[in-house]
Homo-oligomer: A and B are copies of this chain.
């Protein structure tokens, strides 16, 4: 089997050409890949069934199995997603700034492709198609390393993509799938500095930690979300309740779901029973501190650990706070820098919360579930960055590009 470095070098070579394609050429490729995916539905489903069988034999959990499983509808959604990406404005070549210097130099800052984007993800085969489409539209080649449980499916999807690339006259190595499934290979991929330009891990906190620990390629961390909703002293109770229920239960397995509630002490007697009943009805278990439990004793007892937990489940922690300051401190201590919300009737306090909470997206009176490329109007997203370097929050096409300076002179010297 081809080595990791060789696979990455193939993508590097293709990236030179991908960077030079016109918007029309890139869109033609994306349409061709969508067409190939649709044509290959049978083969992809067959490969996916083999992956499912193996996963069942190995006792994969219900939730993971659902993410692994493809249907005709899901493949159609992947194909349609590629066409949607094609329809987005092309980010490459945009002039971001123009500087004229007294010595006559003209400096232009221009958006350019990254080059090669590495993506490491788990057993969700739709990521294979989505990530390729976004990287390609952004002018970059990609090296994809999916979860081993989805290998057969990913190979089948990749075959369609390569067929689409070839059909539209592009370099098929614009998308390279790593077939190795051992940890050492993943580690080797993380260390292809100079060949990969950026590495985006998508998946569990454990995966992301491992990438941060081992990578020499620059990393964009994504998607760990211990998101809070803080019910301030002046919160409208109905609004607070509706935001909490939405942020916790609309979809529990996603990174922008709420995992922790902070309640201003003035509102405990009123809000705790309301929240406990509303979430209880929806099967959410609440881990609460003593103050909250003294009002509603049926709540489970929270430990210190609960405040740092990203449950991704029908569970949530809850804590009383004495002040806005305490809420901000708590969030800055336990949060993951993803999405945080204050429900308040006092916009001045809302502004302070927005200024002092250190997170990608800070909401006043809206659900944390809106942290999403689609909801922000980016058209699509490759992930939600929780770091402060390069990109923060939802990452669309622009966020997976770089820039360079082009300087024109007539022989200027210093």
Contact = CB atoms under 8 A, between A and B. Distances in A.
B393 A198 contact: no
Given A356-B20, A414-B369, A115 B388 contact: yes
With most chain B CB atoms within 10 A of its CB, the pick from A198, A213, A407 is: A407
A404 B414 contact: no
Contact of A405 (B115, B350, B393): B393
Interface stretch (A142-150, A236-244, A299-307): A236-244
Contact of A216 (B212, B236, B393, B414): B212
Given A105-B370, A370-B414, A390-B389, A406 B362 contact: yes
27 contacts: A16-B356, A19-B356, A20-B356, A99-B377, A101-B375, A197-B389, A236-B411, A239-B411, A246-B414, A250-B413, A360-B405, A361-B404, A361-B407, A364-B407, A364-B408, A364-B409, A365-B411, A366-B407, A366-B411, A366-B412, A366-B413, A367-B412, A369-B414, A370-B407, A371-B405, A388-B402, A389-B402
Given A16-B356, A218-B218, A218-B389, 7 more contacts: A198-B389, A245-B413, A247-B413, A354-B406, A360-B405, A364-B408, A364-B409
Interface of A: 16, 19-20, 99, 101, 105, 107, 114-115, 193, 197-198, 212-213, 216, 218-220, 236, 238-239, 242-243, 245-247, 250, 332, 350, 354-356, 358-367, 369-371, 375-377, 387-390, 392-393, 402-414
